[in-house]
Amino acid sequence: MSKLKGAIVAAKPSVEKTIIGMLEKSMKKGVFDAVIIPMRAPSGDSFAYVLVKDKSLLKDATPLPPTMFVQGAKAVSSVTRLGKGKIKIAAVMRPCEVRATVELAKLGQANLENMTIISMDCPGVLPSSDFLKYPEKNIKLFNEAAKKLDDKMMRPLCQICDKSSMVSGDLHIGTLGAKKDTFFLISNSTKGDDAANKLGINLKDNIDSWQTKVKTFSDEKKKKRKKAHKELKAKVGGIDNLVETFSHCINCHNCMRVCPVCICRLCYFDSDKVKHSAEDYLERAESKGSIRFLPDTTLFQMGRMMHMSISCVSCGACEDACSMSIPVGQIFSMIADETQALFDYVSGKNLDEPIPLVAYKEEELLEVEDSDD
């Protein structure tokens, strides 16, 4: 684990404005040629990631918007999937978006060589459907709740997130445990060190108070998470409950398409493989009396889970996008915890750690082998 280095930075008039000021300064000094950062959409009712070249646009940016409209990893991937380009870009995202970006880099869907990834302690994010009801009011409510670390309004997944301060990018803004009107600028890599140096920031301060507060916070969330999982398992566990849970699913596949780590150009479950003749379907209907049409709703969900669980970052984009209000994010996140624990893997934590699917260990999973071997 890399040793994190940090500096205490004065945050006047606000954390947000200071971050923007730092980004402006770094663009001026040529540390970055462009920044990917959320900005409010002209319609006022949403936020979008913008690749900003002209630093004067930054004053309208919102580093920590109240909704996660598009998962940041998708934004970064769209810019660098086909190569690293010549310009140096900084991307400002939430920790789960950074983790998804790291997973995408492992899957060849993002090139991070010329990217400096900046994250911050995340208070959670509002479900987009709630946000859309009263955008203006909700921006205010979100900012207040964020300050108080009050997560009641946030996505159900945010409320049980124990990785809201995970540092897997290059730089991180640590607000937890910071004294009034300051924050910690924490570096996790040589790229981060470099950027801080060029900004004249000396990464030699003690960040213990941040690390302690982060641990306390995370431990509390872990307890909440365990409890929530127990309740959820009782509700959705077993094939009958599972089918019931997904009974409203209309197979719109929104969840799959907004998921940052679902990268297939043509999903298996949209391909020819799941298209059968009328006679095949009729046979199934006959053998069961009747079948839902199209069948295999739960198969899609479980299949998708099987394919992406190892990389799931529990962001909840899927749940936000579900047109039928199914708690798909909570279910997938719960299983992802278990899948990843099997391989001692935390998705998106470390760029050098290969995804278990393609990592071979001779001695592994002995508990599922035959005892006669």
Partner 1 sequence: MKRKIGVYVCECGPNIAEKVDIDKVIEAISSDKDVAVIKKFKLLCSADGKKFLEEEIKKQDLTHLVIAACSPKDHEKTFMEVSEKAGLNPYLFQLANIREQCAWITEDKDEATKKAIRLIRAAIGRVRYHSSLEKKEIDSNPDVLVIGGGIAGIEASLQLARPNRKVYLVEKAPELGGLVTNFEKNFLSMKPLSEIINGKIEEINTNENIKVFTNSEVDEAVGFFGNFEIKVKRTDAEDEPVQFDVGAVVIAIGSTLFDSKKLPEYGYGTLNNVITSLEFEKMNKSGKISLKNGKPPKSVAIIHCVGRKEKGYCSEICCMYSIKFAKYLTDKIPSVKVSNLYSDLCIPGKTNQKLYEQAKGKNVNFIRFSDAEITKSKDQLSVKYKDENGSKTNLIVDMVILAPAVEPAVDASKIAEITGIYQGDEGFFEEEHEKINPISTSTEGIYIVGCAQGPKNISETLVQSEAAAGKILSSLVPGRKIEPEVKTSEISEALCIGCKTCLSICSYGAITFDESKKISVVNEVICRGCGNCVAACPSGAASIKHFKFKQLYQEIREAIK
Partner 2 sequence: MTKSLKINKSTEQGVLELLKYLLENKKVKAVFTLKKIEKKGAVAYSLIADVKDLQDAVPFYPLMPVNAGNLLSRFTLKGSPDELVAAVVKPCELRGFVELIKREQGSLENLLIISSTCGGVYPTKFGVDGTVEKNLSKYWDAVKKGEIPDGSRPTCRSCEEFAPYVADITVDMLGKNDLDKQCMMFLNTKKAEEIAKGFKGDFSDKQMDSKKLDKAREKRGIEKKKLFDEIDKKMNGIDGLIEIFGKCISCHGCSKVCPICYCVLCEFESSDSEYGPSNFETELRKRPGLRVPPGTLYFHLGRLTHISISCVACGACDDVCPSDIPVAMVFKKVSESVQKMFDYIPGKNVDEKIPLITFKKDEFKEFEG
Nearer to partner 1, 272 or 372 (CB): 272
CA dist 331 and 360 (Å) reads 28
307 interacts with, out of partner 1, partner 2, none, CB within 5 to 8 A per kind: partner 1
> Angle, nearest 10°, between helix axes 328-342 and 297-308?
40
Scan residues 191-250 and list those touching partner 1 (CB under 8 A): none
Under the binding rule (CB under 8 A), the answer on residue 90 touching partner 1 is no
Secondary structure element (H or E) that encloses residue 91, with its range: strand 89-92
Nearer to partner 1, 86 or 273 (CB): 273
Under the binding rule (CB under 8 A), the answer on residue 109 touching partner 1 is yes
Nearest distance from C-beta of residue 307 to partner 1, angstroms:
5
Secondary structure element (H or E) that encloses residue 39, with its range: strand 34-40
Nearer to partner 2, 47 or 345 (CB): 47
Q: Is the peptide bond before 13 cis (omega within 30 degrees of 0)?
A: yes
Both structure tokens of 82: 């086909």
Of 49-57, 160-168, 177-185, 211-219, the segment contacting partner 2 by CB under 8 A is 49-57
Number of residues that bind partner 1 (CB under 8 A): 19
Under the binding rule (CB under 8 A), the answer on residue 253 touching partner 1 is no
* Cβ 184 vs Cβ 210: under 8 Å: yes
Nearer to partner 2, 154 or 196 (CB): 154
86 interacts with, out of partner 1, partner 2, none, CB within 5 to 8 A per kind: partner 2
Scan residues 321-360 and list those touching partner 1 (CB under 8 A): 357-358
291 interacts with, out of partner 1, partner 2, none, CB within 5 to 8 A per kind: partner 2
> Angle, nearest 10°, between helix axes 72-80 and 95-106?
40
Helices (H), 89-204: 95-106, 128-133, 135-148, 156-159, 190-198
Helices (H), 186-253: 190-198, 208-236, 239-245
CA dist 247 and 253 (Å) reads 14
Nearer to partner 2, 9 or 70 (CB): 70
Out of 147, 280, 282, 338, the only residue in the binding site for partner 1 (CB under 8 A) is 280
345: number of Cβ within 10 Å: 18
Scan residues 311-350 and list those touching partner 2 (CB under 8 A): 320-325
Place of tokens 């079948």: 291
Task: Using alpha carbons, select from 164, 188, 168, 204 the residue that is nearest to residue 3.
Answer: 188
87 interacts with, out of partner 2, partner 1, none, CB within 5 to 8 A per kind: partner 2
Under the binding rule (CB under 8 A), the answer on residue 351 touching partner 2 is no
Contact map string, positions 267 to 296, toward partner 2, x by CB under 8 A: ---xxx--xxxxxxxx-xxx-xxxxxxx--
Number of residues that bind partner 2 (CB under 8 A): 77
358 interacts with, out of partner 1, partner 2, none, CB within 5 to 8 A per kind: partner 1
Under the binding rule (CB under 8 A), the answer on residue 52 touching partner 2 is yes
CA dist 93 and 99 (Å) reads 10
Place of tokens 């459907």: 129
Scan residues 225-254 and list those touching partner 2 (CB under 8 A): 243-244, 247-248, 250-254
Scan residues 85-124 and list those touching partner 2 (CB under 8 A): 85-87
Beta strand 115-120 with 89-92 is parallel
